[in-house]
Amino acid sequence: MFEKIKDLLFGKDRNPLDPEVFHKISLVAFAAWVGLGADGISSSCYGPEQAFLALGNHPHLTLYLAVLTFITVFIISSSFSRVIELFPTGGGAYLVATRLLNPLAGLVAGCALIVSYVLTIAISIASGVDALFSFLPLHYQPFKMLAAAAVIILLTYLNMRGVKESVNALIPIFLTFVVTHIVVIAYPLFAHLTEIPQMAAETVKQTQAGVAEMGWLALMVVLFRAYSLGAGTYTGIEAVSNAVPVLKEPRVETGKRTMTYLAWSLAVTAAGIMVGYLLMGVSAEPGRTLNATLLYRIVEEWNIGGLPLGKLFVVITLLSEGALLFVAAQAGFIGGPRVLANMAVDSWAPHQFGNLSGRLVTLNGVALMGAAALGILVFTGGAVSYLIVLYVISVFLAFFLSLTGLTRHFWKKRRSTEYWKRRLLIAGIGATLTGVLLGGMTALRFFDGGWLTLLMMGVLMAGSLAIRRHYLSVRKLLLRLDHSLKDILTTLPERKGRKPAKDPKAPTAVLMVSGYNGLGVHSLLSLLNLFPKQFKNVVFLSVGRIDSDRFKTDESLEELRFKVEDDLFQYVRLARRLGLYAECRHTMGTDTVEELEKLCDQVAKDYPLTVFFAGKLTFQDEAPWTRILHNQSALDLQRQLVFKGMNMFILPIRVY
């Protein structure tokens, strides 16, 4: 019954060994533009607004700001296209900083990315709710938080079903946004086409007057402040490089094509909206975003035959804005779990964050992203102006470390890299720009929320360091165990005479193992010591667990299969030298307990007198967080087998 309900809610499990599975779940460039690029293009709903408002009494600087925005988008996106080339398995800033700088820089970048992806979800949904409530009466404002929470819960659920399913459901929203915003950008330009030369001349004239009144330095400070506060415009650019594994083959080409779509759509939309603000004389109004005000200015005379076409267009456009911002939250649900999975592989995060669900998504990461976004949304009251400060600092810290690593790479590889000068120049400019924006935003808004971002990243870093320290200490102890027991085969004499014969009716020990190591050997010797001469047969069971690190290519899965088979063969040789009949069975899957349970059912049919065993690490001072850091597969399997009438013993392996 439970399985039927789960299949209904989340869809049937996918087979990770299906040769077509990568094709079925991967995204073509257009779908990736929707699922990942939406984060970038949706930032045009709040980034340009923050920048324009920061100009204050100097709106004539809008044209310079629009040009700077346009250029910055292409510099950053071009740099991250190189990241896709260098790291085709994904990872973005975390992997770049780890490999091209050092692991500590990678940790900082990873923590910054996790915070930024949580904030991607929070700010996208908060801004989307603002857009939707912009055409509703003011007395509906108290319901904004409830609406935002509902959207986060819905998107978390959709992403638990799978990436492709969640993206496909949102394509119509994305297309509606694109079509309506072509009108929003084009209408002010065509309506004021004859005034544009005069506006450009007026901009130069007012700039000269401003210089005469304030001086170049003061005017540049105003422009720089607006440029920094509008940095939210660029925050979604890296999402594609983080999520390359979900793209269709050839992934590098698909990723670069997606990045091109994103760069052009974001640059044109953001710069076009800024110019629209200037041409239409937009200013802040209570209960409305600047985009909403711009829309109302555009459609003032759109009444044809008494039909309120203008109002209808406003409603459709704002609905598409709000909905696209919800789509943009997808980047957080796709990229965030990917970063956590990569950090889990390097032991900066609990290893469970690398696990895949039956729908082949990192379920733990998706759930964490949703819960954290909901928490930060409630804490900040959904205030976009506050969230954007937290967001920009975390994003640009990751950007800066990533592009600094890229710059260093092209300099070191200058003698072996084609077009290295051009690539070095772009990466260097990108690192400089992101560093300037990071420094400016941190200095300008430190007391307006910037401190909170740094605090969140600091807490994450401290937790990651503690987690890694624990895993490394356990690894050292296990290596010591490996050193003392793993080579036991070389010390045992080769048995002469008849090999032990298989006797299905004799008592049989079934031992669960994961890799040929001291832990498995210790478990085998322990059960033989506890039950001397009790068992005539021993069967070794193992599951090649397919996690996010393995589930990237068919070659990775084949390597995993070969390793599992080789490890099991060594256990069989060891058991036979100890005078037992031995065989092994294995499978591959995403859920270790579920796959082991199936293997146990098969063995129990072949060997009626079976007792199951599994080794488990035991800590002297076990704490709740220790249980989180280490899987509980043995206990979970024991619980399942007990209710099937099968006996299973857990062999405690002391590591402290």
Q: In this structure, what CATH number is given to the domain that contains residue 324?
A: 1.20.1740.10
pLDDT of residue 425 exceeding 50, the answer is yes
Lowest mean pLDDT among 61-75, 260-274, 516-530: 516-530
> Residue type for 237, please?
I
Positive/negative CA dihedral, 210, 212, 218, 223: positive
For residue 468, being part of any structural domain is answered with: no
Residue 330 three-state SS: helix
**Over the stretch 123-171, which tens digit does the pLDDT of each residue have?**
888 888 887 887 777 777 888 888 888 888 888 887 776 554 555 666 7
Q: If you average pLDDT over residues 381-386, what whole number do you get?
A: 83
Q: If you average pLDDT over residues 242-253, what whole number do you get?
A: 73
Q: If you average pLDDT over residues 627-647, what whole number do you get?
A: 79
Nearest CA to 69 out of 234, 276, 181 is that of: 234
pLDDT of residue 355 exceeding 70, the answer is no
Query: In the chain, what is the straight-line distance between the N-terminal and C-terminal CA atoms, in Å?
Result: 42
Question: Any bridge partners for residue 479, and if so which?
Answer: none
Task: Give the span between the Cα atoms of 213 and 524, in whole angstroms.
Answer: 85
Q: If you average pLDDT over residues 589-604, what whole number do you get?
A: 84
Q: Supply the range of the domain harboring residue 73.
A: 27-456
417 and 550 fall within a common domain: no
Which pLDDT does position 465 carry in this prediction? 93
Last residue of one domain, picked from the residues 456, 482, 500: 456
More confident residue, 508 or 355: 508
Which pLDDT does position 461 carry in this prediction? 95
Residue 76 three-state SS: helix
pTM over 0.85: no
- Which helix H or strand E contains 188, and what residues bound it? helix 171-191
Which pLDDT does position 24 carry in this prediction? 45
Q: Which long-range contacts (CB under 8 A, 24 or more apart) does 143-151 make?
A: 144/382, 145/377, 145/378, 145/381, 145/382, 148/377, 148/382, 149/374, 149/377, 149/378, 151/125, 151/326, 151/329
pLDDT of residue 11 exceeding 80, the answer is no
For residue 149, being part of any structural domain is answered with: yes
359 pLDDT band (50/70/90 cuts)?
Answer: very low
448 and 377 fall within a common domain: yes
**Over the stretch 248-285, which tens digit does the pLDDT of each residue have?**
777 788 888 888 888 888 889 889 999 888 888 888 88
Which pLDDT does position 26 carry in this prediction? 47
277 and 349 fall within a common domain: yes
539 pLDDT band (50/70/90 cuts)?
Answer: very high
For residue 2, being part of any structural domain is answered with: no
Which pLDDT does position 401 carry in this prediction? 92
551 and 433 fall within a common domain: no
Q: Are 357 and 162 in contact, with CB atoms under 8 Å apart?
A: no
128 and 216 fall within a common domain: yes
Q: If you average pLDDT over residues 458-472, what whole number do you get?
A: 90
Question: Can you read off the two tokens belonging to residue 645?
Answer: 């009438």
For residue 116, being part of any structural domain is answered with: yes
Q: If you average pLDDT over residues 76-103, what whole number do you get?
A: 83
pLDDT of residue 481 exceeding 80, the answer is no
126 and 274 fall within a common domain: yes
pLDDT of residue 20 exceeding 70, the answer is no
Last residue of one domain, picked from the residues 432, 456, 480: 456
Task: Give the span between the Cα atoms of 604 and 587, in whole angstroms.
Answer: 16
Number of H helices, E strands in the chain: 26, 5
pLDDT of residue 478 exceeding 70, the answer is yes
> Dihedral through CA 84, CA 87, CA 91, CA 93, nearest 10?
-70
Looking up residue 524, the CATH number of its domain turns out to be 3.40.50.620
For residue 101, being part of any structural domain is answered with: yes
Q: Max CA-CA distance within the chain?
A: 103
**Over the stretch 163-192, which tens digit does the pLDDT of each residue have?**
545 556 667 888 888 888 898 899 888 888
Mean pLDDT of the chain: 80
pLDDT of residue 386 exceeding 50, the answer is yes
* Residues contacting residue 450 through CB under 8 Å, at least 6 positions apart: 389, 390, 393, 441, 442
For residue 467, being part of any structural domain is answered with: no
Q: Are 252 and 165 in contact, with CB atoms under 8 Å apart?
A: no
Question: Can you read off the two tokens belonging to residue 338?
Answer: 């990917």
385 and 253 fall within a common domain: yes
**Over the stretch 35-49, which tens digit does the pLDDT of each residue have?**
666 767 778 888 888
Which pLDDT does position 357 carry in this prediction? 45
Q: If you average pLDDT over residues 544-566, what whole number do you get?
A: 71
Lowest mean pLDDT among 300-309, 311-320, 374-383, 490-499: 490-499
181 and 230 fall within a common domain: yes
Phi, psi of 362 (to 5 degrees): -80, 85
Which pLDDT does position 456 carry in this prediction? 92
212 and 257 fall within a common domain: yes
553 and 632 fall within a common domain: yes
For residue 22, being part of any structural domain is answered with: no
107 pLDDT band (50/70/90 cuts)?
Answer: very high
* Residues contacting residue 254 through CB under 8 Å, at least 6 positions apart: 27, 28, 29, 32, 247, 248
Which pLDDT does position 21 carry in this prediction? 40
What percent of the chain clears pLDDT 70, i.e. is strictly above it?
Answer: 82
For residue 479, being part of any structural domain is answered with: no
pLDDT of residue 235 exceeding 70, the answer is yes
Which pLDDT does position 3 carry in this prediction? 47
Q: If you average pLDDT over residues 200-228, what whole number do you get?
A: 81
Number of domains in the chain: 2
631 and 554 fall within a common domain: yes
643 and 531 fall within a common domain: yes
CA atoms within 13 A on the CB side of 75: 20
